[in-house]
Chains A and B, each alone.
Chain A
Amino acid sequence: MIELPRSTPSNSELNIKVIGLGGAGANVADRLQLDGLDGAELIAMNTDTQSLVGSVASVKVQLGRDTTRGLGAGGDPELGYAAADESADEIKAALEGASMVFICAGLGGGTGSGAAPLIANFARQQRALVVAFVTMPFTFEGRRRMAQAEEALESLRQQADVIICFENDRMGDAVNPRAGIQDAFVAADQTIVSGVRAIAGILRRRGLIHAGLDEIATVLRTQNSRSLFGFGEADGDNRAHVAIERALRNPLMDRGRLLADVQSILVHVAGGPSMTLNEVTLLMEELNRHVSDSTRLLFSTAVDPQLGGKMCVAILGALGAFERLPESVPRPAKALPPPVMAPVPEREWIAVAPPPKLEECPKTEPDGAVAEPVAAVAPRVARVGRSGLQQKPTREQKQEQMTFEPVNRGRFEKSEPTIVDGQDLDVPAFMRMNVRVK
């Protein structure tokens, strides 16, 4: 991976912190740490000291020294919340200076469910953009865990800018709830890791960094809309095609139909040194067929020697983000008492410079590594500032979380996707027919 030069002035603007919260979150953080995620700080936060001791994260925060005494939250979100509250100062200190915070947690237990909304709130108080990657428990974990997870998700919605939610039930052929559960978790972890990596990857590209953390934030800021996420990786002769196909195969991407409605998307393409401009063009052409003309496309590429012969693409975006409640309407907080959360400060977004053109991009990083946005598609619509968004009131306050088939595609994982007449038939027919199922 390309090192982010630590002393550039943009650095302070781009301080990325990844928090692995609770047992599930710690596993994700460890995986990120082991795979290497340059330019981001990994922080493990847990009530459970044993898990913290085992973690390889560079920063560790024990939550609720007195509340839980180093034991876990025992599946009780209130305890998890109390623990985070007790350790508020430490959490804030750890978050200090972050411009972007990823919170990774498995919802359903005590620590992740209880602490995540509060930590998200702390992060937003620091004016960081908050992206939550969370999992919903397996059905077989029982109603209680599911209810706790749902409640936590609801609270998190009020705090995070983006929620990307994975349903464990969909993580694989969880035929026997006991067998294969570990595999399903690993699959979830991997998907979360690729998401974090993709966003961090985009942020680290220098040309785009200067152009707009702001822009990225606008794309990701989907408080009242659904998020889209797709990730695809492939090698071989046809890797550009296969990678984008895989990324598009997410059911909520709806093989392009949803992409057509999307207001703005982030696309990050990375590949080994053998990646050609031709391949990038091919991939973008394919993607463009699924995107409407008015969609703003924020695009970056990176050459990453670690990827070897592989090419990967990540797509992230927001759907219908124009709907928003006036700020004066109080937000219902179910799991947590409303007064506890500090009001989130209004962000002032700076004006954006247009994304750099190909010629303007630095060809070589100071350290010699290649990191160049091969091309950047200029915004095709005028940017809508945050204040603009606020003027359109709506009844719907919820951010619908997205659910998607993870990179592990469950039943159809190892098989070639069934694409007929440009439609991915592996995506449920009722979804593609827009039949509503409650």
Chain B
Amino acid sequence: MNLEKFLTKKRDHVVDKWIQSVQETYPAETVKFFRHQRNRFANPLGAAISETMGPLFDELLNENNPQNISSLLDRIIRIRAVQEFEPSSAVAVVFLLKKVIRDELKKDIEKDGLIKVEDLLEFESRIDYCALLAFDVYMKCRETIWGNKLDDFIKRPYVTGGNMRCLSYMLKQEQRQGKVAEDCCNNCGLGEVR
């Protein structure tokens, strides 16, 4: 049997395990909630996980089209990019599939004996490539975040808080390490304190 057929046969099991391992990157109380609340508006994060992993797996297995993969990844990485995760664990969802396949299917693969190493390596390379795409998506998200911050900074001169009044103020604030500012350059004309 070739690997694709094999994975197609095992699809639901693999996807379930994948979903489960992504869910388990969250604290136990949250995982409980993911499992009992099925409404996708009451549980948008849980829905994103359970609605994305299946199609993403199918895409990897069948079409392997980078654009489709990226847009599926976007739904999940965009959320993780603003959560508690370090960058590596934010994109690790992809590698968790590799882990699922190795943990869950190792025996089957060995028993079957007909699956070629090349096929397996090729599929794992797809996962690796998917992880690179996840990195792209992650960076795009983070850049939007910083774009927003910068945009605020430019558009909100009147409203920015004390620490953000002007760049020179911020730099000096850092140098001063905690002392109250007295010597803002006031080049921006806004003044350090009104």
Decide whether A and B are members of one complex.
no
